[in-house]
Amino acid sequence: MTDSERPDHYSYTLYADPATARAFDEKRFGGPIGELVASTQARVIGDFLGSVQGRRILDVGTGTGRAAFVLTRAGAQVTGVDSSDEMLSVARRRAAEDGLDVTFSRGDAHALEYPDRSFDAVVSLRVLMHTPRWRQCVAELCRVADNLVVLDYPSAYSAAALEAVGRRIMAGVGLKTEPYRVLASGPLYTALKRSGFRVRAVHRQFVLPITLHKTLGSRRLTTQVEGFLGKTGALRLFGSPITLVAERCRTS
Protein backbone atom coordinates (compact mmCIF):
# COMPACT_ATOMS: atom_id res chain seq x y z
CA MET A 1 0.00 0.00 0.00
CA THR A 2 1.52 3.31 -1.06
CA ASP A 3 1.11 6.60 0.78
CA SER A 4 -1.59 7.73 -1.68
CA GLU A 5 -3.56 4.49 -1.13
CA ARG A 6 -3.64 4.69 2.65
CA PRO A 7 -7.11 4.97 4.16
CA ASP A 8 -7.95 7.78 6.53
CA HIS A 9 -7.67 5.35 9.43
CA TYR A 10 -6.78 6.23 13.01
CA SER A 11 -3.93 3.70 13.02
CA TYR A 12 -2.13 6.03 10.61
CA THR A 13 -3.40 9.45 11.63
CA LEU A 14 -3.24 9.09 15.42
CA TYR A 15 0.32 7.78 15.56
CA ALA A 16 1.48 10.44 13.11
CA ASP A 17 0.73 13.02 15.80
CA PRO A 18 3.99 14.24 17.44
CA ALA A 19 2.32 14.58 20.87
CA THR A 20 1.08 10.98 20.71
CA ALA A 21 4.56 9.75 19.79
CA ARG A 22 6.22 11.64 22.63
CA ALA A 23 3.73 10.36 25.22
CA PHE A 24 3.44 6.81 23.85
CA ASP A 25 5.81 4.98 26.19
CA GLU A 26 4.63 6.77 29.32
CA LYS A 27 0.99 6.08 28.46
CA ARG A 28 1.56 2.38 27.72
CA PHE A 29 4.35 1.50 30.10
CA GLY A 30 4.45 4.18 32.78
CA GLY A 31 3.68 3.50 36.45
CA PRO A 32 3.85 0.17 38.28
CA ILE A 33 1.34 -1.63 36.03
CA GLY A 34 2.90 -0.31 32.84
CA GLU A 35 6.27 -1.53 34.09
CA LEU A 36 4.71 -4.93 34.84
CA VAL A 37 3.27 -5.10 31.32
CA ALA A 38 6.63 -4.15 29.79
CA SER A 39 8.66 -6.62 31.85
CA THR A 40 6.21 -9.43 31.18
CA GLN A 41 6.24 -8.65 27.48
CA ALA A 42 10.05 -8.80 27.40
CA ARG A 43 10.10 -12.09 29.31
CA VAL A 44 7.50 -13.72 27.07
CA ILE A 45 9.31 -12.68 23.89
CA GLY A 46 12.52 -14.12 25.31
CA ASP A 47 10.83 -17.39 26.26
CA PHE A 48 9.20 -17.74 22.84
CA LEU A 49 12.26 -16.92 20.73
CA GLY A 50 14.98 -18.49 22.87
CA SER A 51 18.52 -17.35 22.17
CA VAL A 52 18.51 -14.54 19.60
CA GLN A 53 22.26 -13.98 19.50
CA GLY A 54 23.20 -13.08 15.93
CA ARG A 55 19.70 -13.78 14.56
CA ARG A 56 17.95 -11.39 12.15
CA ILE A 57 14.65 -10.22 13.61
CA LEU A 58 12.04 -7.86 12.18
CA ASP A 59 9.88 -5.83 14.58
CA VAL A 60 6.76 -4.80 12.66
CA GLY A 61 4.87 -1.85 14.13
CA THR A 62 7.92 -1.09 16.25
CA GLY A 63 6.52 2.25 17.44
CA THR A 64 9.09 3.84 19.72
CA GLY A 65 11.25 0.71 19.59
CA ARG A 66 10.69 -0.94 22.97
CA ALA A 67 10.65 -4.56 21.73
CA ALA A 68 13.44 -3.81 19.25
CA PHE A 69 15.66 -2.58 22.08
CA VAL A 70 14.97 -5.68 24.19
CA LEU A 71 15.97 -7.94 21.31
CA THR A 72 19.03 -5.86 20.39
CA ARG A 73 20.31 -6.00 23.97
CA ALA A 74 19.94 -9.79 23.77
CA GLY A 75 22.27 -9.87 20.76
CA ALA A 76 19.86 -9.89 17.80
CA GLN A 77 20.29 -7.95 14.56
CA VAL A 78 17.03 -6.01 14.62
CA THR A 79 15.15 -4.04 11.99
CA GLY A 80 12.17 -2.03 13.23
CA VAL A 81 9.42 -0.98 10.82
CA ASP A 82 6.61 1.48 11.45
CA SER A 83 4.31 3.65 9.34
CA SER A 84 4.75 6.69 11.61
CA ASP A 85 7.75 8.95 11.05
CA GLU A 86 7.06 10.57 14.42
CA MET A 87 7.23 7.28 16.30
CA LEU A 88 10.39 6.29 14.43
CA SER A 89 11.97 9.63 15.30
CA VAL A 90 11.49 8.86 19.00
CA ALA A 91 12.86 5.33 18.49
CA ARG A 92 15.98 6.56 16.69
CA ARG A 93 16.67 9.16 19.36
CA ARG A 94 16.38 6.59 22.15
CA ALA A 95 18.57 4.11 20.29
CA ALA A 96 21.25 6.78 19.89
CA GLU A 97 21.02 7.76 23.57
CA ASP A 98 21.45 4.12 24.66
CA GLY A 99 24.10 3.28 22.06
CA LEU A 100 21.98 0.58 20.44
CA ASP A 101 22.48 -0.45 16.81
CA VAL A 102 18.96 -0.87 15.43
CA THR A 103 17.87 -0.25 11.84
CA PHE A 104 14.60 1.70 11.78
CA SER A 105 12.65 2.08 8.53
CA ARG A 106 9.29 3.42 7.50
CA GLY A 107 7.03 0.69 6.20
CA ASP A 108 3.53 -0.73 6.18
CA ALA A 109 2.55 -4.02 7.81
CA HIS A 110 0.18 -4.71 4.92
CA ALA A 111 3.02 -4.74 2.37
CA LEU A 112 6.46 -5.34 3.84
CA GLU A 113 9.26 -4.46 1.45
CA TYR A 114 11.42 -7.51 2.17
CA PRO A 115 11.96 -10.80 0.31
CA ASP A 116 10.27 -14.01 1.41
CA ARG A 117 11.79 -15.63 4.51
CA SER A 118 14.37 -12.87 4.90
CA PHE A 119 14.28 -12.79 8.74
CA ASP A 120 14.82 -15.60 11.22
CA ALA A 121 11.84 -14.35 13.25
CA VAL A 122 9.23 -11.60 13.06
CA VAL A 123 7.71 -9.87 16.08
CA SER A 124 4.60 -7.71 15.87
CA LEU A 125 3.01 -6.34 19.04
CA ARG A 126 -0.13 -4.19 19.36
CA VAL A 127 -0.58 -4.19 15.58
CA LEU A 128 -3.40 -6.59 14.66
CA MET A 129 -5.74 -4.83 17.07
CA HIS A 130 -5.34 -1.56 15.17
CA THR A 131 -4.53 -2.40 11.56
CA PRO A 132 -7.28 -1.97 8.91
CA ARG A 133 -6.76 -5.44 7.34
CA TRP A 134 -5.37 -7.83 9.92
CA ARG A 135 -5.42 -10.96 7.76
CA GLN A 136 -3.26 -9.28 5.14
CA CYS A 137 -0.81 -8.30 7.87
CA VAL A 138 -0.64 -11.85 9.21
CA ALA A 139 0.14 -13.12 5.71
CA GLU A 140 2.95 -10.56 5.38
CA LEU A 141 4.45 -11.39 8.79
CA CYS A 142 4.53 -15.07 7.83
CA ARG A 143 5.87 -14.39 4.36
CA VAL A 144 9.03 -12.62 5.55
CA ALA A 145 9.65 -14.97 8.53
CA ASP A 146 11.85 -17.99 7.98
CA ASN A 147 10.88 -19.76 11.17
CA LEU A 148 8.95 -17.92 13.93
CA VAL A 149 6.28 -15.24 14.25
CA VAL A 150 5.40 -13.66 17.60
CA LEU A 151 2.27 -11.49 17.79
CA ASP A 152 -0.35 -10.40 20.28
CA TYR A 153 -4.01 -9.41 20.33
CA PRO A 154 -6.84 -8.61 22.76
CA SER A 155 -9.13 -11.60 23.11
CA ALA A 156 -12.75 -11.49 21.97
CA TYR A 157 -13.56 -13.52 25.09
CA SER A 158 -12.28 -11.08 27.66
CA ALA A 159 -13.04 -7.79 29.37
CA ALA A 160 -11.19 -6.11 26.52
CA ALA A 161 -14.19 -6.81 24.29
CA LEU A 162 -16.34 -4.51 26.41
CA GLU A 163 -13.71 -1.79 26.40
CA ALA A 164 -13.42 -2.11 22.61
CA VAL A 165 -17.15 -1.45 22.26
CA GLY A 166 -16.81 1.64 24.45
CA ARG A 167 -13.90 2.91 22.37
CA ARG A 168 -15.89 2.52 19.17
CA ILE A 169 -18.79 4.47 20.65
CA MET A 170 -16.40 7.24 21.70
CA ALA A 171 -14.86 7.36 18.25
CA GLY A 172 -18.30 7.44 16.69
CA VAL A 173 -19.17 10.66 18.52
CA GLY A 174 -15.92 12.30 17.49
CA LEU A 175 -13.74 11.74 20.55
CA LYS A 176 -10.02 11.10 20.02
CA THR A 177 -9.39 7.46 20.87
CA GLU A 178 -8.17 4.13 19.52
CA PRO A 179 -11.25 2.06 18.59
CA TYR A 180 -9.31 -1.21 18.47
CA ARG A 181 -10.63 -4.62 17.48
CA VAL A 182 -10.62 -7.82 19.51
CA LEU A 183 -9.90 -11.17 17.90
CA ALA A 184 -11.03 -14.74 18.43
CA SER A 185 -8.31 -17.36 18.27
CA GLY A 186 -10.09 -19.48 15.64
CA PRO A 187 -9.91 -17.04 12.71
CA LEU A 188 -6.36 -16.01 13.66
CA TYR A 189 -5.13 -19.61 13.83
CA THR A 190 -6.77 -20.24 10.44
CA ALA A 191 -4.99 -17.23 8.92
CA LEU A 192 -1.66 -18.49 10.28
CA LYS A 193 -2.34 -21.99 8.93
CA ARG A 194 -3.06 -20.62 5.47
CA SER A 195 0.39 -19.04 5.52
CA GLY A 196 2.03 -22.30 6.53
CA PHE A 197 2.38 -21.64 10.27
CA ARG A 198 1.06 -23.38 13.37
CA VAL A 199 0.75 -22.00 16.89
CA ARG A 200 3.36 -23.46 19.22
CA ALA A 201 2.65 -21.65 22.51
CA VAL A 202 0.48 -18.88 23.97
CA HIS A 203 0.63 -16.56 26.96
CA ARG A 204 -2.35 -14.79 28.51
CA GLN A 205 -1.67 -11.84 30.78
CA PHE A 206 -4.68 -10.48 32.69
CA VAL A 207 -8.26 -11.47 33.46
CA LEU A 208 -9.30 -8.04 34.66
CA PRO A 209 -8.95 -5.01 32.36
CA ILE A 210 -5.52 -3.35 32.27
CA THR A 211 -7.33 -0.02 32.70
CA LEU A 212 -8.66 -1.21 36.08
CA HIS A 213 -5.24 -2.35 37.21
CA LYS A 214 -3.72 0.99 36.17
CA THR A 215 -6.43 2.87 38.05
CA LEU A 216 -5.65 0.90 41.23
CA GLY A 217 -1.95 1.41 40.58
CA SER A 218 -0.66 -1.42 42.76
CA ARG A 219 1.65 -3.99 41.22
CA ARG A 220 1.41 -6.14 44.33
CA LEU A 221 -2.40 -6.14 44.30
CA THR A 222 -2.49 -6.88 40.58
CA THR A 223 -0.09 -9.80 41.01
CA GLN A 224 -2.09 -11.23 43.90
CA VAL A 225 -5.51 -10.86 42.25
CA GLU A 226 -4.40 -12.17 38.87
CA GLY A 227 -2.54 -15.01 40.55
CA PHE A 228 -5.72 -16.04 42.33
CA LEU A 229 -7.75 -15.81 39.12
CA GLY A 230 -5.14 -17.89 37.36
CA LYS A 231 -5.57 -20.66 39.94
CA THR A 232 -9.35 -20.69 39.33
CA GLY A 233 -8.86 -21.28 35.60
CA ALA A 234 -10.22 -17.86 34.64
CA LEU A 235 -6.94 -16.77 33.06
CA ARG A 236 -6.92 -19.74 30.69
CA LEU A 237 -10.46 -18.93 29.57
CA PHE A 238 -10.60 -15.14 29.63
CA GLY A 239 -7.00 -13.91 29.80
CA SER A 240 -5.99 -11.01 27.57
CA PRO A 241 -3.96 -9.78 25.81
CA ILE A 242 -2.85 -13.04 24.27
CA THR A 243 0.69 -13.33 22.94
CA LEU A 244 1.50 -16.32 20.75
CA VAL A 245 4.43 -17.78 18.89
CA ALA A 246 3.79 -19.62 15.64
CA GLU A 247 6.34 -21.71 13.74
CA ARG A 248 6.61 -22.53 10.07
CA CYS A 249 5.34 -26.01 9.28
CA ARG A 250 8.09 -28.17 7.88
CA THR A 251 7.20 -30.34 4.91
CA SER A 252 8.58 -33.88 4.77
- Specify the amino acid at residue 227: G
- State residue 24's pLDDT score: 81
- State residue 22's pLDDT score: 81
Where are the strands (E) in the chain, listed by range?
56-60, 77-82, 103-106, 119-124, 145-153, 197-206, 240-248
Return contacts of 214-220, CB within 8 angstroms, 24+ apart: 214/31, 214/33, 214/34, 217/31, 217/32, 217/33, 218/32, 219/32, 219/33, 219/35, 219/36
Domain coordinates of the chain in residue numbers?
Answer: 3-154+182-206+240-248
Which CATH fold would you assign to the domain 3-154+182-206+240-248? Rossmann fold (3.40.50)
Classify 55 in phi/psi space as left (phi over 0), alpha (psi -120 to 50) or beta.
beta
- State residue 7's pLDDT score: 60
Mean pLDDT per block of 10 residues along the chain (252 residues) reads 55 79 82 93 96 98 95 98 95 96 96 97 96 96 98 94 82 77 96 97 95 93 96 96 96 53
Where are the strands (E) in 71-182, listed by range?
77-82, 103-106, 119-124, 145-153
- Distance CA(250)–CA(214), nearest Å, equals 42
